[in-house]
Amino acid sequence: MAPTIHVIRHAHAWHQAKPDTSIPDPELTELGIQQCYALAADIAKVGKIALIFSSPMKRAIQTALAAFPAYTQSRSKIVLLPALQEIGTNESDIGSSCADLVRQFGSANLDYSFVEAAWTNKGPGTPYDPQFATAQARAMRIFIRAVAQRYRATDAHIVVISHALFIGHLTRGDYMAYDNAEWRSFRFEQIVGGNGDASLYELPCSVTRTLAAHNREARRRSFVITTTSTQLVSVKREEKPNTCSLGDVHEVYCPMYGVEIPVASRTRLSLSLAPGSSLLGVQGGATGAEVPVDFMPLPDK
């Protein structure tokens, strides 16, 4: 047995909805609140949570409170750790003072012991200067491992709630970005001793869950492009005048041959059709309805 570390990205917040990175310490949107309820139902399957660490940024605190009501109802407190805050110096990347947080959230469910007065200072040379993110993440892993050692003879579950960019440094995984309110499960390679990096590895069940969730989301946002092309259609990610913004394109369908061409999911694509062919339509998205498109084929050479 060994403790499991569940790393969660905060739910959808207002700086993403606008989008506007000038919003100071943005809170969750209604969509974000709904995501927390879904997260609560999903993660409940792991059993009782022993400990929750969270970034002190409002969107992370709100995610923790909304997704883990049973934890706080048991009189356990969510421990706020400034090192888990988002990387960056935009207004949306900077948190609020401890006094402001206490005024808004109170102290019954939150432990502010680690939230020092200077935690919002990200100036050059300060501990939270973005250039030190890798070192902060390593220190955070070492800290969490030290805490997890108390549970090393158990199958305890520890939750860590943070932000997209910092999670990349914390888990040292950039193969697939976290969606809002997404959770993945890790264990330390060695809970006692081990290397100085306190390396984590993702559990196989988590990898499977992550891939399934991302495939479902890609399919939900997918589009099918239908053309009269008698040749394969070239689909590339480019920024050119003849680029159409469709959302994620899942496949291209050539009805003359019944060919379905899988393509990588990208948000901006240029389509090069064979000479003489034309675009018949685009369908897809969450509803499967036809999507209007501003499309100009490449000129014949």
Per-residue pLDDT at 31: 93
For residue 281, give the 3-state DSSP assignment.
Answer: strand
User: Hey, what's the torsion of the CAs at 215, 218, 223, 229, to 10 degrees?
Assistant: -60
pTM recorded for the entire structure: 0.73
SS3 helix, strand, coil % of the chain, rounded to 5?
35, 20, 45
Closest by CA to 57, choosing from 146, 122, 108, is 122
In one-letter notation, the amino acid at residue 264 is A
Question: What tokens were used for 77?
Answer: 């407190």
Runs of H (alpha helix) within the chain:
14-17, 30-43, 58-67, 69-73, 98-105, 133-148, 164-171, 204-220
Per-residue pLDDT at 40: 96
Phi-psi region of 217 (alpha: psi -120 to 50; beta: other; left: phi over 0): alpha
Directed axis angle between helix 58-67 and helix 98-105, to 10°?
Answer: 30
The stretches in the chain having pLDDT less than 70 are 174-176, 194, 214-301
Cβ 49 vs Cβ 42: under 8 Å = no
Per-residue pLDDT at 152: 86
Per-residue pLDDT at 174: 54
Phi (first) and psi of residue 170, to 5 degrees:
-65, -45
Q: Whole-angstrom Cα distance, residue 146 to residue 53?
A: 13
Per-residue pLDDT at 19: 84
pLDDT in tens, 44-82: 999 899 999 999 999 999 999 999 999 999 999 999 999
For residue 170, give the 3-state DSSP assignment.
Answer: helix
pLDDT in tens, 264-286: 433 333 444 444 544 444 444 43
Per-residue pLDDT at 246: 38
